């Protein structure tokens, strides 16, 4: 998710580029005020978590909420979060990070953003 934020920031910094991001499934687990920290890592980082945490702190890339905010401030960015994924993780909408613009279904995001997009990236 941290790397997605960086790519969004780069894409949005180009004049006129609109970026819409839809978070769903496992990424939603970290998208509340109480879950955004501490950083957790996937299996691929096993045994290297401390070094990675140190590196991200040095690069000032260890604050998920801050990175989402910076991405939004860099241009025309909209963050959406999957309604079903929120239910899966037992989150409440009012507990989500405030950087989210909307909660919607995958189908609605598909119709509103994907079908009209010039370019689509998935992670």
State the DSSP H helix or E strand holding residue 67, giving kind and residue range, or none if neither. Answer: helix 64-73
Specify the pLDDT at position 40: 85
Specify the pLDDT at position 42: 86
Cα separations in angstroms, 72 against 19, 21, 22, 28, 65? 9, 11, 14, 18, 11
Angstrom distance (rounded) from CA 63 to CA 82: 22
**Is the per-residue pLDDT at 73 higher than 90?**
yes
Specify the pLDDT at position 15: 79
Rounded percentage of the chain residues whose pLDDT exceeds 70? 100
Q: Whole-prediction pTM value?
A: 0.89
* The residue count for the chain: 123
Specify the pLDDT at position 74: 94
Specify the pLDDT at position 16: 82
Specify the pLDDT at position 117: 93
Q: Tell me the Cα Rg of the chain.
A: 15
Determine contact, residues 60/6, Cβ cutoff 8 Å: no
- Reported as a single tens digit per residue, the pLDDT across 20-37 is 999 999 999 999 999 998
Specify the pLDDT at position 3: 87
Report residue 82's pLDDT band, with 50, 70 and 90 as the boundaries: very high
Cis bond before residue 59 (omega within 30° of 0): no
């Amino acid at each position: 998710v941290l790397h997605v934020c960086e790519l969004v920031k780069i894409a949005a910094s180009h004049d006129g580029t609109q970026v819409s991001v839809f978070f769903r499934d496992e990424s939603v687990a970290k998208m509340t005020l109480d879950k955004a920290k501490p950083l957790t890592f996937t299996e691929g980082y096993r045994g290297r978590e401390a070094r990675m945490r140190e590196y991200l702190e040095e690069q000032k890339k260890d604050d998920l909420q801050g990175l989402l905010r910076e991405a939004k401030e860099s241009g025309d960015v909209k963050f959406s979060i999957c309604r079903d994924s929120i239910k899966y993780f037992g989150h409440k909408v009012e507990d989500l990070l405030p950087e989210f613009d909307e909660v919607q279904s995958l189908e609605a995001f598909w119709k509103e953003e994907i079908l009209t997009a010039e370019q689509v990236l998935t992670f």
